[in-house]
Amino acid sequence: MELIGLINYWIVIVLMMTGFYIVIAHDNLVKKIVGLNIFQVSVFVFYITMAKVKGGTAPILAEGITTYSNPLPHVLILTAIVVGVATTALGLALVVRIRDAYGTIEDDDFENQDGEP
Cβ(19)–Cβ(36) below 8 Å: yes
Q: Is 17 in the site for another protein (CB under 8 A)?
A: yes
| Burial class of residue 97 (count of CB atoms within 10 Å of its CB; 0-12, 13-18, 19+) | exposed
Query: Minimum distance from CB of 113 to another protein (Å)?
Result: 14
- How many of the other CB atoms lie within 10 Å of CB of 55? 8
Task: Say how far residue 72 (Cα) sits from the centre of its chain.
Answer: 19
Q: How many residues does the chain have?
A: 117
Smallest gap, in angstroms, from Cβ of residue 107 to another protein? 9
| Residue whose CB is less far from another protein, 21 or 116 | 21
Q: Which amino acid is present at 99?
A: R
Site string for another protein, 20-39 (x = CB under 8 A): xxx-xxxxx-xx-xxx-xx-
Report 43-102 residues binding another protein (CB under 8 A).
Answer: 44-45, 48-62, 67-90, 92-97, 99-101
Q: Which is nearer to another protein, 86 or 117 (CB)?
A: 86
